[in-house]
Structures are given as structure tokens and as C-alpha cells.
A and B are shown apart, each in its own frame.
Chain A
Amino acid sequence: MSSTELRPLVPDVARLPLTPREARSLRDSVVANVEKVLVGKQEAVIRSLVAIAAKGHLLLEDVPGVGKSSLAHALARSFGLPLSRIQFTSDLLPSDVLGVSTWDAEARRFVFRKGPIFQHVVLADELNRTPPRTQSALLEAMAERQVSLDGETRPLPDPFFVIATLNPQEQQGTYPLPESQLDRFLLRLTLGYPDADSERKLLVARRLEDPVSTLGAVASLADVLRLQAAARDVRLDESVADYVLSIANATRRDPRFSLGASTRGALALAAAARAHALLMGRGFVLPEDVKALAVPVLAHRVVVSGRDDGAAGAAEVIEDLLHSLPVPE
């Protein structure tokens, strides 16, 4: 666990929204920057940026060792934001995450020592290794964007971004997250193994020191705020909104799903589509954005009946569904 001092929040004056072109160049520079660390994963980086721009949180579910932590670190460093990493173990207490009031003998009062969650970027590693009580502590703070302890409410910093990693469910000793908690994450990504060329490049080029530590910043905190403000203003046409709703309705009505997408899910898809459009350099949402993000946004929010492979199975079924839904013209 590590934590650093907070930087002061920037004044509101600097929150001018980015233009689509600026957003696209921001995306390009961040992707190029992360590429130095994580080769061949541009799609995942763009989706992470979508989560950032839509003010949502990111869920990374994958086998160990494919670069989940590296991605988080690289993203934080690209934006010049400090990252605090919480390693969730089975004996972690909620106070270890949120913070604890300690007794200062000289001052004769309780002093609240902020937990690692009070940071701009939080990497919650192996979230499903910790019992449900500690999970809820994190997830509730994510939803509320504030921490209430000992009668006091302390807001979390802005921008606040959580990257949670999950181990695959088959492994032992995991506490699976229920669907209502998974719903709080905007996107779910799997990284997967890199392709042959990228892996070869990685092996050849990797020096002794960890490249993440030498990564510089290509954007700033103000850029993140401006990106988030711009993402809210992206134009969503009615027909595209209907498309989003048709996808959500299809998951609710199709007999393959025992639980369909909630309204939160539909809202999340719309917000993510807006962010995606902005990052592509457009001021308006296209059906392509919705279609590209449907699986990352919805796969962990729905339950497929009769299968136990969780979101991976749901991804397959949602892909199938997308093929049968007509795109607005």
C-alpha cells in the first residue's frame, strides 16, 4: 500500500471542455505513451479512456500476469496523476481501505488518517479475494464519491477513478462480486495474452528496470476534467438512443438471459458511447460507438441462464444479440 499527499483541486475556471479534435489528439498521445509499457493493447487503452471520460470506473478481469497493474500505472502516469494501490487480501479490513481515526496523545484528540482510497487513481488489486465486508467499503465509497466515518463526511478527490482487477472465478479462495456491486463499474475489460509480435517485442526490448517508472506525463489533471466536461456535451441523436434501448430491452426479453440490463446499464452504455465518440474526434454519437461498447458495458451486468462462466459467457450471447438487432439508418 502506498499513499502520497494530495494536490490541491484545480479552480473551476480551467474546466473548459475539450473540442473533439483535441480529445482525439489526447487519445493518440496517451495511447502512444502507454504503448511503451503495454504493447499491442490499443483497444483496451481506448476503452480505459472511455471509462475515464465518462466518469466511470474500470473492471479488469483476467488471468494473472497479463499487465493489469501495468495498465493502471501507465494510465495514471500518463495523466500525471498519483496512483494508490490497494492489494486486497482475505484479511483486509474496511478501515485499511478507507482510513482510521487514531488517537493523538499530545493533541488529545482523534486524528483521521486517510486511507489509500483518498487518491485520484486507485488500483484495487484482486478485489474478489477479500470478504464481502471490505468489498462493500470500497464500492460504497466509489458510488457516493465520499467517505463517511466517525460522523464526518469527507469527499473523495475529483477526478476519482478506480481500476479494480479480478481473478478468474474458477480459482480457489475467491469471493465473487454480486451483480449489484458489479453494476457500479462502467466497463469490464479483459486484456488477454498479447499477440505474437507484441510479445516478442516485449521480450526483446524489456530492460532490467520497470519501464513504468520512467514513463512521463502527456496530459494533466485539468485535461481529465475538461475531457469529462466535453463528454457530457456530445450529441446523442434520438435514433441512437433508441438503439441503446433496443439493446437493453433485448437483454431483458431474450430467454437466454435470466437477468437483463438495468436502467443504470442503459445509462452507462449511453454515457460510454458519448465518451467513445468524443475520443474518436466526433461531436456526435454514431451507432458504431454503441455497438463497439455494448459488450464491455453490459457483459458484467447481465446473467445468462444455464451458464456459469459469468461475464465471458454473457459477452458471447450479447455479441449474438447484436447481430440480430437492426442498426438505425
Chain B
Amino acid sequence: MGFFRRLAATARLWWRVMRMQRVTREGWFYLAFTLAVGVAAINTGNNLLYLVLGLLVSVLLLSAFLSETVLSRLRIERELPPFGVVGQPLRVGIVVHNRKRRLASHSLVISEIGIEGARTYVTRVGPGESVRAYWVGVQPRRGALALHGFRITTRFPFGLFEKSREVALAGRVPIHPSGVLSARTTKLLPRSLGPIPVPAPGRGLDFHALREYRQGDDLRQIHWKATARTGRLFAVEKERELQRRVTLVVDTRAAESAEALDGAADLVVGLSRRLVAEGCEVGLRLPDDEIPPAGGRAQLRRIADLAARMAPAPRTAPPPQPFPGTLGMVVPLAAAPPPPAESRPPAPRWIPPSQGRLDLHGIQKWAVLLSLGLALGSLSISGELAGGLAILFALVALVSFVRDRAILGPRLANVVTVGAFLSTVLAVVALDLDVMLVAPGFVMLLASVRLLARKGPGDDVLLLLMALMMLAGGAALTGELSYGILFAGFAVVGTIALATTHLRREVEAVGGPAASRAPGTVTGALLAFLAGISLFVLVGSIALFVTFPRVSVGLLARNDGPVVRGGSERIELGGVGVLKDDPTPVMRVRFAGETPSREIYWRTTVFDRWDGKGWSKASVPRRVVPGGGGIFFFHGGTNQGVEAEVEVLRDVPTLPVFGSPISLRFFTRRGQPPPRLAAYDDGTLEVSNPPSPLRYRLRTSVEPLRSVGGENPDAYRHVPSGLDPRIRRLADSFGTSDPESLARSMVAWLQRENRYTRELPGEVEDPLAHFLFERKEGHCEFFASALTLLLRLRGIPARVVAGYYGVSWVEAGEYWVVREGDAHAWTEAWVPGKGWVLLDATPAEERPGHAEGAWASLVQWMDVWRMRWANWVLDFDAKTQGRLMRQIGRSLAGVWGALAQGRIVFRILAVGAVGAALAFALIALLRRLEKRPGRRRTNSADRRRATLLYRRIRARLRTRGIDLGASATASDWAAAARKSLPSEEARAVAHAIQAYQEARFGDRPLDAERMRRLLRLLH
């Protein structure tokens, strides 16, 4: 039974603790948004949305954790003044001790329970530090101020959740009456003191009488002026100073309530002050209490304490009488109470951290602007955003932040917002626009309106939420690698922006708009802390992204794969200029098993008709390649052939294959329609419903092309009329008639007689004849055309094939790449009994190789990263997740060898290092923007050096764990060094500090050499 009772007690405790949590208005928006993004991510399976979701959730986790640690292990004490006075500001002190050893507590609102408006705000309490805060109130009535306890509330770090804790701590401050006497009462005063004492001789100060000097009188009494005048000794007599003792008598039995006694209390305090000032001793007698007469300040306080407490006495009490030997003064009860002083509710006070140099306002402003910029960037790289709109938005943001004041009024802003919303809905419904395309524009419009109507940090929170929306929009619309970089930047900067916005809101709510501009609101330690948590958010986003279970429920959003064009192509000989060696990758290839030799010819287009200037392609029949489920078979071959995995990156005319394809298998994703493959009679392939991304596994035989598709060599015999007769004579000049040897001799001749160049011949009438007989140099298309025509002139069917030649190895990515610059043209000739034979007339040494140079390497390197981005982020699915988990598990459990293979770990480390570098750069930049306390004219070089030296000394000491604030002097730093550093080092520090002092404030010079020496001694 006791167990259940304990359980109930724990549950009640938890309920009470949970009741102290509250979600703010922004917190609700944020939660709703996170939910929406989560649903969208699960529905679409878009991995980038998972990344954004990771960011949102890690911010939430951090919020919950941090607000808990901020409130933990705090001890609060009160510092009460001994008393307060009616109508005068009363300052109640609160001391907050942070008992944590490593963590600081930030952004605390401390309010008194039960007293409205008594609050104060502490920006930061460092670990082990104590901060004194206070609130000031004005009490309207005498009596006592009863204090019950505090509530400590924090909304740190992002203002999404509010957590409070209550501390019971009773206290009591007596409130004295003001004792201000009205003019009328002051006039009554002498009369009430009774008969005026008769002047009598005594030892006072005032002149009383002159008389003759008597024997025994004090020599000091001699009045010399009178003595000089009369020739006889005269003495002065002073007036007796009466020591008056007065008792103030108040008959409180006649009062109905304590309020009725207020006037009498004021009179008591005022009278006692006057009397004591005139040298009297004053006492107080009430029916139920008394204070014996005495003088001095302590007596005044005692009387005031009692006057504050004065309450009606019971009628059975004896009537009050003056003390024996004193003059009695009866204080009338009916005296008019003083006019009620207006009691303003206490103004909240703000305690700035005393050690900072930076100001909050600037940092927060630029952090929010930067976040908006990053979010805009992430949205615009998708390409779905009109460039003009993006530039307009950027301008609006800049103007709004530089001007820092609202440009639109709030009502106008609301009108524009509603109008924008309505017009967007109208556009989507009436024009049937895609919501995903309209939504970014709508969000940006909303954000622009808010930017123009921006009044303060409250609007900034909404702006940051809108930036998050833009970020999510960017995730849904794009798949670029650059998004990842912008996302990482946003994770760091956006967190800092959100935290500083929260701080600024709190500070300005308490200290007014100017408070956040004051230097000293931000310390370096706080900035470091913020950078740390933003790093955590970044790492958390990635970790959550990796671990979120992938359940793809709907269609994939990614549909930006390359297109397989169809249509007619042409090759034109002639033209001006130089063929570019374009390093842009077209395909990535991986070979299973052995890598074939470099002589890989990728066929994409086959040309059959020469018209004197160029080649064209007639329409060729095609038939469907049998297969299903993404796998297609070409011809039954016993030969295993070579297996290659191909990923096509750019638009191609047909599906590139090499050799004689045996089978082809597409990599499709769930939800995509199955692709269909068709083969033309010339051997090229066309695919409908190509999967996105376009990846397939090709099994092919590397023997020269055999009969693929239908054999119709006669289509490739045509020779146009009007051909230059020299070509016919050249064709006839070759001796043999055997097709194969004829072809080979033609190839040999072409390669021998002509040179390869990328330069184009310019505009010529007959480019081919020009090439063969005059110029004798050209690029691959010339060679292929020449061979084809020569063969055709001898009656051998021949055709020009265009495509790509060869593969190049990319070490960084461990794959082979085919570039645009690898585009090539060659010839195929029909040899009876063999089929189509591949002939390449271009000189072998000059065939396109891999492009060299810095630019090409850069393009290649970027492609490697794009491949990795696509593999590990965009296409991160459950299978990859499982693989990653297994790999992590293996590398964690394994030894160094396993770790070397687990490149995943290195990738995560690399991301972490990049994030850390970003954070450090940010901090360094912000440190450089420090405001100096006031503008000074330039000092001489020595003093400047001295100041620099001092800064370096302090930076060095900070790395050794010594950090004093800006109010510590150089000697304090030296003393701290002496205390905690080894003696050798402490001496070097003391020496350096002495040099600094002499140079900075004295006139001892400090040259650069000496400064360097001193600095060297420190390290």
C-alpha cells in the first residue's frame, strides 16, 4: 500500500513540475511546423526534408535540455534593506548563486510571488558566480512589506518553451511612515512643547550676559573686548542649554482601524525627528508598547519601527502616561493623514552581465539577416524561383535591416498579407498552378511584408520561422549539393539568430529598446556557448537524418534526372572556331570484375546520308526489346562478356552502350513506372519511362559489333552526286578488293596523310575535299566521313557512328568517367560474313583522351562530390541506412583496419570539422566587431603596442583557464597568474604586465622587438 502512495506522490510531484512548463506562442507555431515537415518527409520520402526535420527536432531537444539545466542548482538569497519609507523607492536585493561548476545560467526572470510587477532579469550567471539583482518598488502605506518567495522563469535558449521554478523564501521589511509634516502642524509645534524655559546662565553657546570676572571662573570666559574697553576684567555668561526630554503619547485605543492611525504615525515620526534635531531626547508611549526616551539616530529608527507597526489597542489597556521626568506631548489622532503618495508598480530591473564588450543588437540583427539570406539561397538554387523575385526579396531584407525601423504600418501590412493570401489561393485554384511552385513565392511575399513592417525582435522570430519554411521549400524542390552547404550554414547561423533574438526580446522587454544596444550585453563566453549549441544542432540534424526510419509512402519528389532525347541529329563538317575539350562528365561507369581495355566505343547515333556538307540520319525502323521488370535481353549469347554499371548524367540522344549488348537492367525506384526499351535497326537504343536517376547495368560482349537488329546494309551505300571527282579517283587508287584489307589500307592512308587538329576549317565550299586534298588536317568527324565515303565509293556499305570514346579513371571517387570532350565519331563497314566492323580512321595518338588541366580537375572533383551527395543524402533509403548502420557497427567493433575502410566515419568527422571551423570563423569575425568603449584619438605607437601586448597576455591567460572581467586591472591579472600558474610562467606574465603598464601609462618606450621577446617568453 505504501508503494502506491509513494507512486501517487511522485505522480503529483511530476504533475506539478510539468505544470510549470508552458509552450509559448512561437513554440506552438514551431511545433505545428515540425509536425508538418515530419508528415511531408514521411509522405514523400524526400531525404532533404528528413534533414530539415532533423534540424527542427534537434532544436526542440536542445530547448528542453537547456532550459532544464539553466534552472538547476541555483541558490537564491535575499538582501533586504533594514527598512523602507512610505513614498520612497525601496530596493530589495536578490542574490543568485550558480552552484554549477561548468555551465552558466542564462536569461532568468526572477519575480516575487504575490507582488505584481516586482521582477528583475538576469542575463547571465556564470558557473560558480553570484549575481546581485534588485527590484525597486514604492510602498503607499506604512506597515510591513511581506515577501513570500520567488518564481524563476526562463525561456532560454530559443523562446519556444517557458520553464519555471518556485522558491519559498519569506522576508519582511518594515515600512516607516514618511514623517512629512504639513506647514500647519509645524506651526503648532512650539506651543505643544509647553512653556518656553526661562533663559538662565549655563554652559551653552548663546550669549546671555556680561558680568565682572570672579575668582574661579574659567579663563576662557574672559571677554577681552569688554576688558579692553573698561580696564577691568569682564567675563561672559552663556545661556544654559536645557536638556529637554519629551515623551510622545498616542492613545491608540480610540482608533477604529490601523488606517485611522496613519496620520498619527506620520506625526510621531516627524515630531521625533524635529525634536532630536533640536537636541531633545524623545520617547514614545502607547497603551500596549513603549520606548524610553533617548537621542540619536538609533532611537529615531526604533520610534519609526514602532510607528510603522502602530495598531489600535484594546480598550481594556491602561491609558498611556508620559515617562517620569519628561515633558509629555499628546499626539492627536484626528491629525490629517498625509496625501496618499501614488504607488507606481515597481519597474522591472535588468542586470547586465558586467563583463562583456559586444552589443546584442548588432549581432542579433546580422544573424537574422544572414539566416534569411541562407534560406533564400537554399530556395533559389532549386531554380524554381524567379531570379527577379529573389533579388527583390534580398533588397527588401537589406533595406529593412539597415533602416531598422518599420516602413509599413501594421494595418497596411495586415491588408497586404490578406490580399496576398487570397490572390495565391485564387491563382492556385483558377490557373491550376502547382502548389509547390506557388508556395515559395507566397512565403517570400509574407516574409517581405513582415520585413517592411518589422518593429523589433518579436517580428524577427516570425521571420526566422519563415526562413525555416523557405529552407523546407528548398529541400522539397532541389537536390543540389550546394543545398547541403547552405543547410549547414543555416543550422549554425539560424540557431545563433534564434537564441540572440530570444535574448534581445527579454532584454528589451525589461530594459527598453536601448538596452540591447549597450555594450556589455554579450560576453565572449556567451558567444562561445551559442556557437557550441549551434554546432550541436548541426551534428544533431545529421545524426537524426541518419537514424530516422525510412518509410516511403508516396511518390518520390525527385524527377530531375537526365533525359534521353530522341529526334534527328546532324553532323556538320565545316564551321569556324575550335572544338572545346569540355570536361563535364556525361556518364559514370563502374566495371564489375575485370576492366576492359581503354578502347571502348559508346554508340549513340548512327548516320546514313551524306549531302555534301554533313551527315544526317533517316528514320529507321525499330522494335521492342523483350524483357520486363526493368531487365531486357538482346540476343542469347553464351559469352559472359563484360559487366558495367552506367549512370547517365546529362541528356543523350540514345542510351549509350558499347560492344554487343547481351542484357541490360535498369535500376528503378519504387513508385516509378517500368521503363520500356526499343532497339533501332542501326543498333541504337531508345528508352521510354527512363528511371530517375538513369542507371543501368549493362552486360555486353566486347567483340566488334555483330548483327544487332535487322541487317540492312544497302541503306548505307548512298553516294550523292556532285561529289568532288578527286575523291572518286582517290577511292579507286586503293588496290585490293577484299573489303577488310581495303578498309585497313584506307585507314592507314588516312592516318598517314592527314593530321589531327581541333581547329575547324572555316567556311569552305566542300569541306571534305578541302580536308582530303588541301588542308590535310581535321578532327574525328572528318576522318570518319572520309573513310565512310571512300568505302561507299568502292561499293562497301559503311556508316558514320557518333558517340563517346574511352573512359578515364577518377581516383577520388573510384569510378570511370566519360566526358563531353570524349565525344567521337568513327566508321562501321559491312563485311560479308562478319557483319559491321568498327573502323576508326582518326590517328590513334590523337583520339580524345582525358582532359588535363586545373579546370578539368576542379570539374572532376565537383562531380565526385555530387556523386557522393546523391548517393548518401538524396538517395538515402532504408537499404543504405541499414548498410550504414552495419558499417558503423563493424567499424566501431573492429580494429584500425576496419576503421580505415569505414569511410562513413570519416565523412561524419569531416562534416563535424567543417561545422566547427564555421563556428570558429563566426566567433573570430564577431570578436573583431567589438565596440570599443568610446572613441579615442590615436595614441602613439608605443601605447598601441602596449595595448596589443596586454590583449595578447590576457588571451594567453584565458587559454590557461584564467578569466577575469573587464573591470579587473592588470595587477589583478598578474595576481591571478601568480596564484594558479607555475612560478616560471607567472614571473614571465608579471614581467610582461609591468612592461605594458610602463609603456601604456608611463612614458617608457616599447619597441616591437621587445614586445615580441616578451610574448615569446609567455609561450
Q: Which label, helix, strand, loop or mixed, suits the secondary structure of the B interface?
A: mixed
Report the bound CA distance from A110 to B222 in whole Å. Answer: 14
Chain A proximity of B522: nearest CB distance (Å) = 14
Which chain B residues in 960-976 approach chain A with CB under 8 Å? Answer: 965-972
For residue A320, which residues in chain B have a CB less than 8 angstroms away from its CB?
132
- Please state if A101 and B224 are interface contacts (CB–CB under 8 Å): yes
- Please state if B951 and A329 are interface contacts (CB–CB under 8 Å): yes
- Please state if B81 and A110 are interface contacts (CB–CB under 8 Å): no
How many residues from A make CB contacts under 8 Å with B?
A: 45
- Please state if A256 and B936 are interface contacts (CB–CB under 8 Å): no
Report the bound CA distance from A27 to B934 in whole Å. Answer: 37
> Whose C-beta in chain B lies nearest to the C-beta of A130?
B205
Q: Is B4 an interface residue (CB 8 A)?
A: no
Q: Is A240 an interface residue (CB 8 A)?
A: yes
Report the bound CA distance from A257 to B1003 in whole Å. Answer: 37
Chain A proximity of B194: nearest CB distance (Å) = 23
For residue A133, which residues in chain B have a CB less than 8 angstroms away from its CB?
205
> Whose C-beta in chain B lies nearest to the C-beta of A283?
B1002
User: Which of B91, B295, B520, B971 interacts with A288 by CB under 8 Å?
Assistant: B971
Indicate whether A288 sits within 8 Å of B296 (C-beta atoms), given known contacts A305-B89, A306-B85, A308-B301.
no
Q: Is A323 an interface residue (CB 8 A)?
A: yes
Which chain A residues in 274-325 approach chain B with CB under 8 Å? Answer: 282-288, 291, 305-308, 320, 322-325
For residue A283, which residues in chain B have a CB less than 8 angstroms away from its CB?
1002
Q: Is A326 an interface residue (CB 8 A)?
A: yes
For residue B972, which residues in chain A have a CB less than 8 angstroms away from its CB?
288
For residue A286, which residues in chain B have a CB less than 8 angstroms away from its CB?
969-971, 997, 1001
Complex interface: stretch among A35-43, A78-86, A169-177: A169-177
Q: Is B228 an interface residue (CB 8 A)?
A: yes
For residue A291, which residues in chain B have a CB less than 8 angstroms away from its CB?
969
- Please state if B969 and A326 are interface contacts (CB–CB under 8 Å): no
- Please state if B91 and A306 are interface contacts (CB–CB under 8 Å): yes
- Please state if B997 and A110 are interface contacts (CB–CB under 8 Å): no
Q: Is A56 an interface residue (CB 8 A)?
A: no
Chain B proximity of A106: nearest CB distance (Å) = 13
- Please state if A239 and B969 are interface contacts (CB–CB under 8 Å): no
- Please state if B1001 and A329 are interface contacts (CB–CB under 8 Å): no
Report the bound CA distance from A259 to B205 in whole Å. Answer: 32
Q: Is B227 an interface residue (CB 8 A)?
A: yes
Report the bound CA distance from A44 to B91 in whole Å. Answer: 32
Q: Is A100 an interface residue (CB 8 A)?
A: yes
- Please state if A284 and B1001 are interface contacts (CB–CB under 8 Å): yes
Q: Is B933 an interface residue (CB 8 A)?
A: yes
For residue B88, which residues in chain A have a CB less than 8 angstroms away from its CB?
305-306
Q: Is B986 an interface residue (CB 8 A)?
A: no
Report the bound CA distance from A286 to B946 in whole Å. Answer: 13
For residue B231, which residues in chain A have a CB less than 8 angstroms away from its CB?
105
Report the bound CA distance from A206 to B88 in whole Å. Answer: 51
Q: Is B77 an interface residue (CB 8 A)?
A: no
> Whose C-beta in chain B lies nearest to the C-beta of A310?
B297
- Please state if A255 and B224 are interface contacts (CB–CB under 8 Å): no
- Please state if B296 and A172 are interface contacts (CB–CB under 8 Å): yes
Q: Is A209 an interface residue (CB 8 A)?
A: no
- Please state if A284 and B998 are interface contacts (CB–CB under 8 Å): yes
Which chain B residues in 421-449 approach chain A with CB under 8 Å? Answer: none
Indicate whether A326 sits within 8 Å of B1001 (C-beta atoms), given known contacts A103-B228, A306-B81.
no
Report the bound CA distance from A105 to B228 in whole Å. Answer: 8
Report the bound CA distance from A235 to B971 in whole Å. Answer: 19
Q: Is B220 an interface residue (CB 8 A)?
A: yes
Q: Is A141 an interface residue (CB 8 A)?
A: no
> Whose C-beta in chain B lies nearest to the C-beta of A169?
B297
Which chain A residues in 64-104 approach chain B with CB under 8 Å? Answer: 91, 93, 96, 100-103
Indicate whether A284 sits within 8 Å of B966 (C-beta atoms), given known contacts A102-B224, A169-B297.
no
For residue A170, which residues in chain B have a CB less than 8 angstroms away from its CB?
296-298
Q: Is B950 an interface residue (CB 8 A)?
A: yes
Interface centre among A101, A283, A324 (most CB of B within 10 A): A324
Report the bound CA distance from A239 to B946 in whole Å. Answer: 13
Number of contacts between A and B (CB, 8 Å)? 100
For residue A116, which residues in chain B have a CB less than 8 angstroms away from its CB?
none
> Whose C-beta in chain A lies nearest to the C-beta of B1004?
A284
- Please state if B224 and A110 are interface contacts (CB–CB under 8 Å): yes
Q: Is A265 an interface residue (CB 8 A)?
A: no
Q: Is B496 an interface residue (CB 8 A)?
A: no
- Please state if B89 and A288 are interface contacts (CB–CB under 8 Å): no
- Please state if A93 and B205 are interface contacts (CB–CB under 8 Å): yes
- Please state if A329 and B950 are interface contacts (CB–CB under 8 Å): yes
- Please state if A323 and B354 are interface contacts (CB–CB under 8 Å): yes
Which chain A residues in 127-175 approach chain B with CB under 8 Å? Answer: 131, 133, 169-174
Interface size bucket, B side? 35 or more
User: Which of B228, B295, B298 interacts with A110 by CB under 8 Å?
Assistant: B228
Q: Is A237 an interface residue (CB 8 A)?
A: yes
Report the bound CA distance from A285 to B1002 in whole Å. Answer: 7
User: Which of A96, A102, A308 interacts with B297 by CB under 8 Å?
Assistant: A308
Report the bound CA distance from A172 to B88 in whole Å. Answer: 26
- Write out, one digit per residue, whether chain A residues 112-123 have a CB within 8 A of any chain B CB (1) or not (0): 000000000000
- Please state if B81 and A288 are interface contacts (CB–CB under 8 Å): no
Report the bound CA distance from A165 to B74 in whole Å. Answer: 44
Q: Is B245 an interface residue (CB 8 A)?
A: no
Q: Is B203 an interface residue (CB 8 A)?
A: yes
Indicate whether A326 sits within 8 Å of B933 (C-beta atoms), given known contacts A170-B296, A286-B997, A291-B969.
yes
For residue A240, which residues in chain B have a CB less than 8 angstroms away from its CB?
1001
Which chain B residues in 314-368 approach chain A with CB under 8 Å? Answer: 352, 354, 357
For residue B224, which residues in chain A have a CB less than 8 angstroms away from its CB?
100-103, 110
For residue A326, which residues in chain B have a CB less than 8 angstroms away from its CB?
357, 520, 933, 966-967
- Please state if B970 and A288 are interface contacts (CB–CB under 8 Å): yes
Chain A proximity of B303: nearest CB distance (Å) = 13
- Write out, one digit per residue, whether chain B residues 202-246 have a CB within 8 A of any chain A CB (1) or not (0): 011100000000000000101010011001000000000000000
For residue B85, which residues in chain A have a CB less than 8 angstroms away from its CB?
306
- Please state if B936 and A239 are interface contacts (CB–CB under 8 Å): yes
Q: Is A242 an interface residue (CB 8 A)?
A: yes
- Write out, one digit per residue, whether chain A residues 226-257 have a CB within 8 A of any chain B CB (1) or not (0): 00000000010111101000000000000110
- Write out, one digit per residue, whether chain B residues 924-961 have a CB within 8 A of any chain A CB (1) or not (0): 00000000011010000000000100110000000000
- Write out, one digit per residue, whether chain A residues 203-237 have a CB within 8 A of any chain B CB (1) or not (0): 00000000000000000000000000000000101
For residue B997, which residues in chain A have a CB less than 8 angstroms away from its CB?
284, 286
- Please state if B354 and A324 are interface contacts (CB–CB under 8 Å): yes
Report the bound CA distance from A288 to B970 in whole Å. Answer: 8
- Please state if B1002 and A284 are interface contacts (CB–CB under 8 Å): yes
Chain A proximity of B80: nearest CB distance (Å) = 12
Indicate whether A103 sits within 8 Å of B1001 (C-beta atoms), given known contacts A91-B203, A306-B81, A320-B132.
no
Report the bound CA distance from A308 to B84 in whole Å. Answer: 11
Chain B proximity of A199: nearest CB distance (Å) = 27
> Whose C-beta in chain A lies nearest to the C-beta of B1000?
A237
Q: Is A327 an interface residue (CB 8 A)?
A: yes
Q: Is B888 an interface residue (CB 8 A)?
A: no
> Whose C-beta in chain B lies nearest to the C-beta of A172?
B296
> Whose C-beta in chain A lies nearest to the C-beta of B88?
A306
Chain A proximity of B514: nearest CB distance (Å) = 14
Report the bound CA distance from A291 to B965 in whole Å. Answer: 14
Indicate whether A327 sits within 8 Å of B968 (C-beta atoms), given known contacts A237-B1001, A256-B91.
yes
Report the bound CA distance from A254 to B297 in whole Å. Answer: 26
Chain B proximity of A328: nearest CB distance (Å) = 8
For residue B296, which residues in chain A have a CB less than 8 angstroms away from its CB?
170-174
Q: Is B136 an interface residue (CB 8 A)?
A: yes
Lowest 4 A-B CB distances belong to which pairs? A284-B1002, A326-B966, A172-B296, A324-B354
Show 22 A/B contacts (Cβ-Cβ < 8 Å), sorted by A.
Answer: A91-B205, A93-B205, A96-B220, A105-B231, A170-B298, A171-B296, A173-B295, A237-B1001, A238-B936, A239-B1001, A255-B136, A284-B997, A286-B997, A287-B970, A287-B1001, A288-B972, A308-B297, A323-B965, A326-B357, A326-B520, A327-B967, A329-B950
Which A residues form the contact surface with B (CB < 8 A)? 91, 93, 96, 100-103, 105, 110, 131, 133, 169-174, 235, 237-240, 242, 255-256, 282-288, 291, 305-308, 320, 322-327, 329
